[in-house]
Structure 1
């Protein structure tokens, strides 16, 4: 199995938006964008100088299977960013794709943003797969809380 991280394109953004409307994914992935237009606006903003987000597509054996990105990039007094990832291709679930992609992505983030020293990630408590991916990549549980009535947790990792 060959895993690659590639630059995002407008077509990827459209595909990602369509694929993440799946009810199984919707239950696991907190979302802030609910229209394709808003998704494209976020993508276009990520291309601007000084953008506060950066992402990659995840490919397995030449097939687009998901996305991984950082957002709220802040290089001020306490340099940090937030992380999100989603493998929308269910045939890749439980196969280590997200774990390996996150490992690769964090190396790129550390190189691209040398001032960033901390990465945080939110997930729902019931999303055990995402929690395992974070823990396998040295993220530590920092907080548990309720978000919109859903038990959630916050993980953090130093770079």
Structure 2
């Protein structure tokens, strides 16, 4: 697993202990195609708006992350060898506050509410803080997306602002590396 981060998650559900190995892996064109398809389901779109409207746009965005001066970076989230989501940062700019923005999505619904996003975000923000030497990471989420807010707060993000945009209440949270 050279170059990858991994965590073993112990989840006790009152009847048995569940062990999961969570890893962050390198994004590929194939993972971008899979992510685009899975993240465009209604259950995901109601909590995470998608920038790319077509798979071609998503692939073009991915290609930009491979350039030498890329301002975004992402990784895939695997649980026990199964691809279940992505975590990424964008708008990387050391002269701006925050230094970058974070997004994450576990697109396999059966993996929701198991601590996977919390572990993946934890590994990822450590990686981003080291790799890019950022000092602050911001994140936006819909105010009704309690699960994402919990993931962020468990990882040390604090709510900075609550605002309404296009009739939707949202929150801005920030993390200090």
Q: Which residue of 2 aligns with 1:150?
A: 168
Question: Residues 22-54 of structure 1: CA distance to partner in whole angstroms, max 9, x if unpaired?
Answer: 101000002221111110010000000010000
Pairing partner for 1:123 from 103, 125, 141: 141
Q: Which residue of 2 aligns with 1:87?
A: 106
1:78 positional shift: 4.7
In structure 2, runs of 5+ residues without a counterpart are 1-19
Structure 1 residues 153 and 78: CA distance shift in structure 2, 3 A = closer
RCO (CA 8 Å, sep 6+): is it higher in 1 or 2? 1
Runs of 4+ with >3 A deviation? none
Pairing partner for 1:112 from 126, 131, 148: 131
Query: For residues 43 and 98 of structure 2, what CA distance do their matches in structure 1 show?
Result: 34
TM-score (norm 2): 0.87
TM-score (norm 1): 0.97
Q: Which residue of 2 aligns with 1:49?
A: 68
1:63 equivalent to 2:82? Answer yes
- Higher-Rg member (1/2): 2
RMSD: 1.0
